[in-house]
Structure 1
Amino acid sequence: MKIILAIGAGSFIGGVFRYLVSVVIQSRIPTTFPYGTLGVNFIGCLLIGLVFGMADRGNLDLGWRLFLATGVIGGFTTFSAFSLETVLMIRDGQYLYASAYVVFSVLLGLAATFVGISVIKLL
């Protein structure tokens, strides 16, 4: 139960920071291109890489890793988890799985979003 609460608290923190960072970035660049989201995704990927780098060296116990990676960074951006999982597959030599994961994640994600929007338009 302690781990669940730590992940939940981290998710809250990450979600709030996602909003704040995205708004700050987007407000500084007058365009409709989603620089705020792009910036959040980049920062989240960098942070999850740092957390897992520390965990690989044995400098981070499971509780802190779950709080930071799953909670805070996961709440900040789920793209970071997608990026880490892909990098780990590549590192482990699972190039076919990594490629399939990237292609299917992007295509299925876009398709699901389109279907969801279309369903609501039909109602």
Structure 2
Amino acid sequence: MMTFLVVCLCGGLGATMRFVVNTSVQQWWNRAFPLATFVINVIATFCAGVAAAAYALGTVDHGTYLLFVTGFLGGFSTFSTAINEMVSLARAKRIGMAALYFAMTVCVPVLCVAAGWAVGSLGA
């Protein structure tokens, strides 16, 4: 029961951080490209890569890894919002922007996980 509550707390902290980053980026970014969600997902995937490397190298235990990735990053990252934004761009006849956002949302996070893994493995 305690693990469940801590995962809930971590997820809430991640969601709160997502709100702060989203609001902060939207205050100065007023263009069609959904930069706030993109930045959030880039940060989350990089951190997931660091966490995966730390777990694989035995730097953190499985429980800590799950709390961070499942709890905090689960609340912080927002793939469903990215998909909704792609559909909204396409419905607004911004097909090129929707395609660019799709490509960036799929490709850049893969690179971020790899970069995070590399950074997390530096001391090994």
TM bin, normalised by shorter chain, reads 0.5 to 0.7
Of all paired residues, the percent bearing the same amino acid is 28
Contact 1:10 / 1:68 at 8 angstroms: preserved in 2? Answer: yes
**Where do 4+ consecutive residues of structure 1 move more than 6 Å?**
none
Tell me the residue number matched to 1:15: 15
Structure 1 residues 56 and 5: CA distance shift in structure 2, 3 A:
same
- Report 1:81-120 matches (<5 A): none
Aligned to 1:119: none
Name 2:60's counterpart in structure 1.
60
CA-to-partner distance for each residue in 1:63-88, whole Å, 9 max, x for gaps?
21111010001110154xxxxxxxxx
1:17 is paired with a residue whose SS is: helix
Q: For 2:73 and 2:66, locate their aligned partners in 1 and report how far apart those are by CA, in whole Å.
A: 10
Question: Structure 1 regions of 5+ residues with no counterpart?
Answer: 80-105, 115-123
Q: Secondary structure at the match of 1:13?
A: helix
Offset from partner CA, 1:48-105 (integer Å, 9 cap, x none): 11111100100111221111010001110154xxxxxxxxxxxxxxxxxxxxxxxxxx
- Aligned CA-pair RMSD: 2.2
Shift of 1:32: 3.2
| Conservation of the 8 A alpha-carbon contact between 2:40 and 2:78 | no
Give the alignment of 1:11-50 within 5 angstroms: 11-50=11-50
Number of aligned pairs? 84
- Could you tell me the TM-score, scaled by structure 1's length? 0.61
TM-score by length of structure 2 reads: 0.61
